[in-house]
Amino acid sequence: MNDITNAAPAARFMRLPKVCKYFGVSRSTVLRRVKAHDFPQPVKLGPNTIAWLADEVEAWAAAKIAARDGEKEAA
């Protein structure tokens, strides 16, 4: 059996500038939220390189939208 057909899909990474642009926030805002554990933790790709899994960033954004929509319904 071919292992390639059974392999998990490749992870997509977002570097810090792309994360900032995606949300329209500053670098310090993203890093502050990471430190406060209010944002997905980055993956260390090398000695000076970090990135976020795109799926985790998108899921975080979706959860924030769902929470906002839930607040609207409760009001």
Q: What is the CATH number of domain 13-74?
A: 1.10.1660
Distance CA 37, CA 45 (A): 20
Q: Return the half-sphere exposure (C-beta side, CA atoms, 13 A cut-off) of residue 69.
A: 6
Task: For the chain, give every domain's residue range.
Answer: 13-74
User: Which pTM does this prediction carry?
Assistant: 0.78
pLDDT value for 63: 96
Asked if residue 75 has pLDDT above 80, the reply is no
Q: What's the pLDDT tens digit per position in 17-33?
A: 999 999 999 999 999 99
